[in-house]
Amino acid sequence: MTDDDRTEVLADDDRRHALVRRFRLRVESGPDTGREVASRDARTVIGSESGADLELTDGAVSRFHCELVVEDGRIHVRDLGSRNGTTVDGVAVIDALLHSGASLGVGRNQIRFDAAPDHVRIPLSAHDRFGTMVGTSTAMRAAFAILERAAASDATVLLTGETGTGKEAAAESIHQTSARRDGPMIVVDCGSIPPNLLEAELFGHEKGSFTGATSERAGAFEAASGGTIFLDEIGELALDLQPKLLRALERREVKRIGSNRYHPIDVRVVAATHRDLRAEINAKTFRADLYYRLAVVEIRLPPLRERLDDLPLIAGHLLASASPARRAELMAPSFLAHLAAHRWPGNVRELRNYLDRCLALGVDLAVPPAAGPETAEAPPSGVDASQPLRAAREEATRRFERAYLEDLLRLHGDNLAGAARAAGVDRAYLYRLLWKHGLR
């Protein structure tokens, strides 16, 4: 990929757009020979689903098979958990950089990738903040431009991005800058409420409809009337609840548990997930029709490593309430340079927690390591064969568990519920492991 293929920002006379090199895809051989598409955005999806940018009919192609993404000026292809995988020049890949003339294997099709001589114009916001969010980077201003347009409408919004990128702040900012700002904003964390209780939380229940239902109760959709309901971690929603949510979104009415009557609802719906719902659709754990109903406007929030230029602005925003002296210490150029050397896998949430610890304990705290979390007890690259097998295995397991747990907590900002969900374990079991290793 040459410098000419990188993302450019327009000259000073037009700072409202970014230029991204356009590319073209053409099926050279296979069942869909002759089909082609030119990119229209920073992301282009290939798949058999009717919403794909390059729609293929080959039965070996998954609904959302792979996507081409312009990031940091380069063009990647990413497999989306497809059943038969994606290849580049005959090599199976999960995520790979592309060069002009590369051949993509998608199902039985071979697709030629070529960088085009022209560019796609990506709208940028003229502002360096949206609600409580701040940023001057191209990636963030592109997100702000979509957020601003979404807030001005009543469309359903799906916020995507890694843990800690600010999806809840984005949802709150959409609500506060919308025509519904004077109404309530109700938050439901679909990942922290047991599935057997989530239906009642969302839709309400009648008295006596189940054990413990001693009175009738309106659900979150009814409570949010006139305002916004924020469905956080929507990717954790159980399959049996998804049709009920779909009906609520389509019909704008809900039925309480134990009732035969539907209640009309007047709400703006904003959902968020750290999962790629297209991959979940391929895996048959998320309904495609629900995804389309949620993703009327889909907005990806970039990870902090893609917008390190925003670090001084974000740090200043997070330290607004600190004393002038402490703020000056934590905003010193040398300190900010140390912050910029870290990848921040937990994104803005990790940065906020780190700055809070600096304020509480002093600014001489070690900055997290640049290459990612490491510990003094990190697993060795080899093994110690001087020990008996059982002892060596137990020691390796102990070291791995501790390193994994420290990384897990750092990534999720010490949020045990989120950490347990990401690790796929019960919260009580996670707590026992933390206690075992002296981390709680």
- pLDDT confidence of residue 318: 93
pLDDT at 13 over 50: no
* Alpha carbon separation from 100 to 27, 32, 112, 309, 424 (Å, rounded): 15, 21, 8, 29, 40
Closest CA to 280 of 236, 216, 312: 236
Matching residue, tokens 């750092």: 410
What mean pLDDT comes out for the span 147-167?
96
Check residues 84 and 425 and name the one with the higher pLDDT.
84
- pLDDT confidence of residue 158: 98
pLDDT in tens, 192-234: 888 888 999 999 888 767 766 667 888 999 999 999 999 999 9
pLDDT at 405 over 50: yes
Which SS3 state, helix, strand or coil, does residue 69 take? strand
pLDDT at 90 over 50: yes
Q: Kindly state the DSSP code that residue 378 receives in the 8-state scheme.
A: P
- pLDDT confidence of residue 212: 67
pLDDT at 413 over 50: yes
Check residues 201 and 365 and name the one with the higher pLDDT.
201
| Least confident residue range of 117-121, 358-362, 415-419 | 415-419
pLDDT in tens, 59-83: 999 999 999 998 877 899 999 999 9
DSSP string, 18-53: EEEEEEEEEEEESTTTT-EEE--SSEEEEESSTT-S
- pLDDT confidence of residue 11: 38
What mean pLDDT comes out for the span 130-156?
96
Closest CA to 359 of 321, 333, 332: 321
Q: Do residues 98 and 76 touch, judged by C-beta distance below 8 A?
A: yes
The H-or-E segment that residue 110 falls in is: strand 109-123
Encoding tokens for residue 354? 């780190």
Closest CA to 354 of 378, 371, 336: 336
What mean pLDDT comes out for the span 357-386?
56
Which SS3 state, helix, strand or coil, does residue 337 take? helix
- pLDDT confidence of residue 15: 66
Check residues 427 and 158 and name the one with the higher pLDDT.
158
Closest CA to 101 of 241, 2, 207: 2
Handedness of CA 414, 416, 417, 422 (dihedral sign): positive
What mean pLDDT comes out for the span 296-316?
94
- 7-16, 46-55, 208-217, 355-364: which has the highest mean pLDDT? 46-55
- pLDDT confidence of residue 167: 96
- pLDDT confidence of residue 6: 45
pLDDT at 408 over 80: yes
The number of CA neighbours under 13 Å toward the Cβ of 269 is 26
Encoding tokens for residue 76? 């990647």
- pLDDT confidence of residue 374: 39
Contacts of 194 (CB under 8 A, 6+ apart): none
pLDDT at 362 over 90: no
pLDDT at 377 over 50: no
Q: Quote the CA–CA distance of 312 and 339 in Å, as a whole number.
A: 9
What mean pLDDT comes out for the span 119-123?
91
pLDDT at 137 over 70: yes
| Least confident residue range of 247-261, 311-325, 341-355, 417-431 | 417-431
Q: What is the mean pLDDT of the chain?
A: 86
What mean pLDDT comes out for the span 38-42?
93
- Residue 383's pLDDT band (cuts 50, 70, 90): low
Handedness of CA 355, 232, 403, 429 (dihedral sign): positive
**What predicted TM-score, i.e. pTM, was given to this entire model?**
0.79
pLDDT in tens, 236-291: 999 999 999 999 999 999 998 888 889 999 999 999 999 999 999 999 999 999 99
- pLDDT confidence of residue 379: 40
Encoding tokens for residue 15? 């700072």
- Residue 10's pLDDT band (cuts 50, 70, 90): very low
- pLDDT confidence of residue 20: 87
